[in-house]
């Protein structure tokens, strides 16, 4: 006996472009193959048949939907259950996170400027926000491995200013520190929990509850599957990685195309899907996975618009776009300083804005959409 759906897969995130949407449901058509003598139903409803092919409609009415396809014949019943996500009232939006923050925290703790935005880095991010509405999530280390500093040294005198800007500027856990590389690839759940809670408590102390947000990525995009419960318990529902063709350093041109890396140990079935569709829902962990379309510090300025325009034109992945970069490339005292890094951040935001995208925090709602809230 055979039973297969070939136009949608379990874990797929669907929106109005995939069917007929109303306020109450998203109606889609499933197509597949089954033994020609089998009677096929979709959620108990009939289907049309042509030899081994079948098709039928189903209405998705919830955020997470279980769709049951049953093929019945004299040999017995064969059942296939798909988990499909309805991205209700979807709209084109983009998320922008920046990793590895400790430099601006170190500078401000030592210099004690009157305002956070007297610091060149936060002033630059605010200018991008003012120009394009961009919302940033700054993923933070507890310890600065380049200069003597720990997050506990940051004063709480800027707390109200952080909170006043929390609608667009948020802070999140990233790791205890930058080194060693891949700190949670083989770490225990207890280690991840301890580091997460340490960083989160410090952020709340000096920046307030409104500023703290669940991260959508861990340092190096790595954690053991048995540690996902730690993240889930702390409100994490989204994880970003590179998965296939993962670049691991500036200047790497041709990473192995079929090697799954920087992606939380997911198997090739999922990583191959993410390579073309960019978003996936894992029903076993209740996590949304996504692949950012660009890490700004890994591309040249002249490449930014071309890469983004290619994604914007791709209907398979252009509804929710993830952008990323790393703090240290903006700082002149960093050994790998990129003088045009801040300009690249602005160019990426400008390109998305001119294409009609709305800035969002993917940690909110369903990848930034609050239609289900």
Strand-strand pairing, 136-141 and 169-175: parallel
- Mean pLDDT along residues 17-44: 97
Say whether pLDDT at 245 is over 80.
no
- Mean pLDDT along residues 308-328: 96
Predicted pLDDT at 253: 74
- Mean pLDDT along residues 271-281: 95
Nearest to 27 by CA among 86, 90, 75: 86
pLDDT digits (tens, 9 = 90+) for 100-111: 999 999 999 999
Say whether pLDDT at 121 is over 80.
yes
Share of the chain above pLDDT 70, in %: 99
Question: What domains lie within the chain, and their CATH numbers?
Answer: 3-86 (2.60.40.10), 93-359 (3.20.20.370)
Say whether pLDDT at 189 is over 90.
yes
Say whether pLDDT at 276 is over 80.
yes
Say whether pLDDT at 51 is over 90.
yes
Q: Give dist(CA 367, CA 289) in Å, integer.
A: 10
- Mean pLDDT along residues 106-134: 98
First to last CA, the chain: 42
- Mean pLDDT along residues 10-34: 98
pLDDT digits (tens, 9 = 90+) for 328-350: 999 999 999 999 999 999 999 99
Q: Give dist(CA 264, CA 332) in Å, integer.
A: 33
Predicted pLDDT at 15: 98
pLDDT digits (tens, 9 = 90+) for 347-365: 999 999 999 999 999 999 9
């Amino acid at each position: 006996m055979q039973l297969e759906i070939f136009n949608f897969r379990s874990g797929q995130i669907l929106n109005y472009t995939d069917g007929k949407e109303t306020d109450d449901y998203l109606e889609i058509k499933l197509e597949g193959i089954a033994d020609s003598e089998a009677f096929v139903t979709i959620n108990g409803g009939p289907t049309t048949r042509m030899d081994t092919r079948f098709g039928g409609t189903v209405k998705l009415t919830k955020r997470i939907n279980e769709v049951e396809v049953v093929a019945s014949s004299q040999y017995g019943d064969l059942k296939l259950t798909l988990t499909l996500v309805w991205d209700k009232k979807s709209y084109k939006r983009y998320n922008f996170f920046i990793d590895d923050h400790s430099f601006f925290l170190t500078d401000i703790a030592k210099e004690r400027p009157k305002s956070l935005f007297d610091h060149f880095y936060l002033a630059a991010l605010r200018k991008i926000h003012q120009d394009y509405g961009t919302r940033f999530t700054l993923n933070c280390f507890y310890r600065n491995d380049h200069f003597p500093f720990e997050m506990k040294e940051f004063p709480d005198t800027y707390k109200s200013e952080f909170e006043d800007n929390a609608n667009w500027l948020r802070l999140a856990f990233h790791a205890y520190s930058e080194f060693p590389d891949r700190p949670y690839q083989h770490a225990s759940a207890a280690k991840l929990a301890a580091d997460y809670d340490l960083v989160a408590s410090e952020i709340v102390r000096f920046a307030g509850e409104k500023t703290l947000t669940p991260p959508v990525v861990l340092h190096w995009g790595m954690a053991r599957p048995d540690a996902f419960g730690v993240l889930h318990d702390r409100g994490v529902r989204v994880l970003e990685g590179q998965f296939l063709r993962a670049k691991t350093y500036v200047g790497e041109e041709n990473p192995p195309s079929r090697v799954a890396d920087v992606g939380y140990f997911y198997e090739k079935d999922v990583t191959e899907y993410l390579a073309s569709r960019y978003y996936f829902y894992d029903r076993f962990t209740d996590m949304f996975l996504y692949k950012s379309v660009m890490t700004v510090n890994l591309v040249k300025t002249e490449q930014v618009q071309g890469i983004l325009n290619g994604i914007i034109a791709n209907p398979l992945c252009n509804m929710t776009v993830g952008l990323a970069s790393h703090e240290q490339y903006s700082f002149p005292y960093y050994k790998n300083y990129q003088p045009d890094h801040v300009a690249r951040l602005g160019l990426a935001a400008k390109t998305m804005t001119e294409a009609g995208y709305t800035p969002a925090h993917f940690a909110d709602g369903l990848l930034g959409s609050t239609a289900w809230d």
